[in-house]
Copies of this chain bind each other. A is one copy, B any other.
Amino acid sequence: MRIIEKLDEMQQQAESWRRQGKHVALVPTMGYLHQGHLALMKFVRPRADLVVASIFVNPTQFGPGEDLDKYPRDTSRDVKLLGDVGVDVLFIPHAEEMYPDQFQTYVEVKKVTQPLCGISRPTHFRGVTTVVSKLFHLVKPHTAIFGEKDFQQLVTIRRMVKDLNMDVEIMGHPIVREDDGLALSSRNVYLTTEQRRKALRLSQSLDAAEDLVKKGERSGNVILQRVREILAEDQDEDVRIDYAELRQPETLEQVDHVEGPTLLALAVFIGSTRLIDNRVL
């Protein structure tokens, strides 16, 4: 596996691949890889001539007071894992080259970034779409793949690609979970044993909501009531619901009655760690 750090080198390599008619897939990450990330790599590996993984803890998608400085990193372990799943190039740009002095350009998707995570993280998606634009221009992928755990991010990127006519196919990959249901996340490392047990309430509440819908329940209120009961069990002070909402999966408009496919999206603080999870019902 080749490691590229310089933007020019990445872009020239990408241009050369495209001229040769090679199909390039990009898997953008912030590193500290888990099996969720690796599932994306394994999924695209047989679907592309060249697989590029990027690791970049993107400062513009962290708000003030968020965990940019303490975001977990372990590049040497990441390198080993990516080599094992057959990634061709690991692109590790540096923040100073990505955001030089006088940097002042942002890509903003307006509507779908407003609700859900957009409320508690008002500049987050602007940071995501800006850096993904940059990565697309540098790596020139035909295909890029993102996990469905960050569902709103995936919706936002699809919208950006469509609106700006980027010639990139966006693929989503189902959430990868531990055996007990916890969605994989680099931030799970922040949880104590006790908090990790409480974190299971997220997937348990999704299961419960899915059961209700399967049994014919259509009322958003009833479903969300059940979800909140499970999340807030025992009025535990260590658990705080940021949001639990039903939304249309493309426009992210609010849904009161479950008619077609409906996104149930959760963000919950367990102690000071904010976890997200979701399911399309």
**A164: contacting residue among B109, B137, B159, CB under 8 A:** B137
Q: Can you list 6 A-B pairs, Cβ within 8 angstroms, ordered by A?
A: A19-B21, A102-B159, A102-B251, A105-B109, A107-B108, A108-B108
Is A89 on the interface with B (CB-CB < 8 A)? Answer: no
The chain B residue sitting closest to A7, CB to CB, is: B165
Asked whether A134 and B165 contact (CB < 8 A) given A105-B159, A112-B104, the answer is: yes
Determine which residue in A11, A137, A140, A160 has the highest number of CB atoms from chain B within 10 A of its CB, and name it: A137
Cα–Cα, bound, A106→B167 (Å): 17
User: Contact mask A132-151 → B, CB, 8 Å, 1/0?
Assistant: 01100110100000000000
* Nearest-Cβ distance from residue A175 to partner chain B, whole angstroms: 26
The residues of A with any CB-CB pair to B shorter than 8 Å are 7, 11, 15, 18-19, 21, 102-112, 129-130, 133-134, 137-138, 140, 159-160, 163-167, 251
Contacts of A111 in B (CB 8 A): 102, 104
Instruction: Find chain B residues with CB under 8 A from A107 CB.
Output: 105-108, 164
B19 touches A163 (CB 8 A): no
CA gap between A160 and B103 in the complex, in Å: 9
Interface hub of A18, A107, A108 (most chain B Cβ within 10 A): A107
Known contacts A103-B163, A104-B111, A104-B159, then 12 further A-B pairs from the complex at CB < 8 Å, ordered by chain A residue: A7-B165, A11-B167, A18-B18, A104-B112, A104-B163, A105-B110, A106-B107, A106-B110, A107-B108, A134-B163, A134-B165, A137-B164
Nearest-CB residue, chain B, relative to A11: B167
Instruction: Report the minimum CB–CB distance from A188 to chain B (whole Å).
Output: 32
Question: Which B residues touch A130, using CB under 8 A?
Answer: 164
Which residues on the B side are within 8 Å of A109 (C-beta)? 104-105
Set of chain B residues within 8 Å of A134, measured between Cβ atoms: 163-165
- Interfacial chain B residues near A138, Cβ < 8 Å: 165
- CB neighbours (8 Å) of A159 from chain B are 102, 104-105
